[in-house]
Chains A and B, each alone.
Chain A
Amino acid sequence: MEFKTFVFYFLSAILVLAGLRVITARNPVHAALYLVLAFFTASGVWMLLQAEFLAIALVLVYVGAVMVLFLFVVMMLDINLDRLREGFWSYLPLGSIIALLMVVEMGLVLGGNYLGLFESSVAQAAAEDSNVQAVGRLLFTDYVYPFELASVILLVGIVAAVALTQRDKRKNKAVSPSQQVFVKARDRVRVLQMPAEKSE
């Protein structure tokens, strides 16, 4: 076994285990941290494919920005763990049988083909040019259509977020200063003429 193959299997094993822990970890903070590990290992796999730029972008964007934000949100939300776990044990037997069955099926289907590393038609990275150059050029030539569509998706995300969260101006009791300066004494005090009442 080549060293590269060994590294691939090593990283893949960590990736799968980390992914597993993301959904099984009891503590949401731990789950988020395992997700960080998963991203990190995935970037290692990309590095093996000589896609350095993508690997670095994954770490910078997902680990550096998205996951930090995610952790903040998780820590701010006061999640009641016990309520989330309700019914877990009663669902577990059936769930695990099904999951086990699926794993066995997948293993049977794929096992024969995965004895060697998958050397195939997957496009080789262009080693002659730098990674950034290759990604940039493809993004703005061959992949310009999905690139533009992805920007529309981002726009939809913004529009949806604004439309779903924006409320009309709160009806508070503050007075507009521009109207306040025009106030006259007449507006403040109203003198009423009332018939005097006799005291008893």
Chain B
Amino acid sequence: MTLADMQFVTPDLRLAAAEIFISLMACLILLFDLLVKDRKRTATFVATQLTLVAAALITLATSSGEISYTFSNMYVGDLMGDLLKLLLYVTVLVVLFYSRGYILEREQMAKGEYYALALFATLGMMVMISANHFVIVYVGLELLSLSLYAMVAMNRDSVPATEAAMKYFVLGALASGLLLYGMSMIYGATGTLEITAVAERLYTGQVDRMILVFGLVFVVSGVAFKLGVVPFHMWIPDVYHGAPTAVTLFIASAPKLAAFAMLVRLMVNGMIVLAQDWQAMLILLAVLSMAIGNIAAIAQTNLKRMLAYSAISHMGFMLLGMVTGVVSGDARFALNAYSSSMFYVITYVLTSAGTFGMILLLARGGLESDEIDDFRGLNKRSPWFAGMMMMMMFSMAGIPFFVGFFAKFSVLQAVVAAGYLWLAIVAVAFSLIGCFYYLRVVKIMYFEQPVSPTPIEAPAQMKILLSANSLAVALLGIFPQALMSLCAFSLLRSL
């Protein structure tokens, strides 16, 4: 085909309306912020929140429920993407709301750029969620990562934050390199970068399998880094610990949704034919993550660091759902398995946002309160929030009847249905070990005396939102069915 007879199809911009809107608004907010004289940047903050709400409305309005492609098949709009994007807006909205008080107390973070970077990071995640092309996955990932590096480093006078940003940047660049190398191998083997076209060529079987699996190893490594699973987890504890808590909250919540979407797009949409190969790799990653995450978390005295190891173990658990989709060439259980993973990641994001929100609630007057000891005797200071924190810890530990229990339960169900009984037993054993450190936080809150019995002061809106978040954890635990069927339905219409 020569260029002369190449047909140019005008892309259907409606499908990507939300992405276009967010990028426009991020640029406008950047300009608008110059006019804001207020040192607290309230106007910028409100504009950012309104942008997220409007983007949610746009996504709702343009969602057709069909799988549709645009931008020469580089962009895919489907129900899974729409659902994840809606959850993404809500998460970012809540995260920025929690962070408000924290960043106002830190002069260098209380700038309009913080909100613009948050919006750009959101855009990056949206791009990743509806990518149908290796280049788009990579570009979205870089957009997200670059914004996050800057946000971590924003509190410049803090040495740990600068160190965390530097580590995150160097290791992130390395992981991007691995991912790109893998992608180039897959391009070499299949001759295309378009994810659905890769799937087609794999299906017809005219590819060099050796090079393909070779590339797959690198792609899995890159994705594993972004998910933060062992042995690509080294950055997680340092970044979670060193970053300002508001940014840790951001990193620990929304990007997990995007990383899950990246996993589904690359592995399930693109390379389901190679499921045997990547499932074996993911099993290894999952077991190692659950082991190292849960055991290392026990030794931590810093709550942020403990939650970082807990995040590693949770991502390992989530991977269990992804490894049980195809059993000896039979994809009967795929939908069930993948939707259990999706449910797991969504509920984890909800719980994680609430837990870090609680650390932000206690951090006042420019001081952090991220040591586990800072939660000592919380029950005496505020019985209500001690109860909320307890619910979150119970949910993370997987104690019935909180949402974490059902998330773990549905993943284990998928694992057993696929015939990996030993894997289920390993997962339960490590979860039991994990219970120890979650329950220790509860013990410290209820059975020890507070260092100073000052009551908790926070704006009423923050208290209400944090309570709503925690109650959602409890309520979803009692009625998990709605969200579960939503996950299953969206995947059914998308895969």
Contact = CB atoms under 8 A, between A and B. Distances in A.
A145 B132 CA distance: 12
Given A143-B72, A152-B123, 5 more contacts: A145-B136, A146-B133, A150-B139, A163-B113, A164-B154
A141 B3 CA distance: 12
A24 to B, nearest CB: 18
Interface stretch (A38-46, A54-62, A117-125, A179-187): A117-125
Interface in A154-200: 155-157, 159-160, 162-164
Contacts of B154: 163-164
A131 to B, nearest CB: 11
Interface stretch (B143-151, B241-249, B317-325, B391-399): B143-151
A157 B191 contact: no
Given A109-B214, A110-B214, A149-B139, A120 B191 contact: yes
Contacts of B6: 137, 141
A137 B3 contact: yes
Interface secondary structure of A, over-half rule:
helix
B30 A146 contact: no
Given A145-B11, A160-B147, A126 B142 contact: no
Contacts of A112: 210
Interface in B144-165: 146-147, 149-150, 153-154, 156
A163 B146 contact: no
Nearest to A148: B23
Contacts of B139: 146, 149-150, 153
Contacts of A122: 187-188, 191
8 contacts: A109-B214, A113-B211, A141-B6, A146-B133, A148-B23, A149-B136, A149-B139, A159-B116
A160 B154 CA distance: 9
A183 to B, nearest CB: 27
Nearest to A168: B107
B210 A110 contact: yes
Given A145-B71, A152-B120, A156-B120, A133 B191 contact: no
Nearest to B208: A113
Contacts of B23: 148, 152
Given A110-B214, A142-B72, A149-B140, A129 B191 contact: no
Interface of A: 106, 109-110, 112-113, 118, 120-123, 126, 128-129, 133-134, 137, 141-146, 148-150, 152-153, 155-157, 159-160, 162-164
B135 interface: yes
Contacts of A118: 188
B273 to A, nearest CB: 17
A159 B142 contact: no
B24 to A, nearest CB: 11
Contacts of A146: 74, 133, 135-136, 139
Interface residues of B, number: 46
B140 A164 contact: no
Interface secondary structure of B, over-half rule:
helix
B72 A129 contact: no
A123 B120 contact: no
A148 B127 CA distance: 12
Contacts of A142: 72
Given A156-B117, A156-B147, A129 B4 contact: yes
A113 B210 contact: yes
A157 B149 CA distance: 10
Contacts of B113: 159-160, 162-163
B75 interface: yes
A150 B1 CA distance: 27
Nearest to B120: A156
B142 A153 contact: yes
B341 to A, nearest CB: 27
A126 B3 CA distance: 7
Interface in B247-283: none
Contacts of B8: 141
Contacts of B153: 164
Contacts of B142: 153
Contacts of B2: 126, 128-129
Interface string B122-142: 010001000001011001101
Considering residues A110, A129, A162, A164, which has the most beta carbons from chain B within 10 angstroms of its beta carbon? A164
Contacts of A121: 190-192
Interface string B1-39: 111101010010000100000010001001000000000
A141 B74 CA distance: 12
Contact of B72 (A110, A134, A141): A141
B74 A145 contact: yes
A166 to B, nearest CB: 9
Contacts of A129: 2-4
Contact of B117 (A120, A149, A160): A160
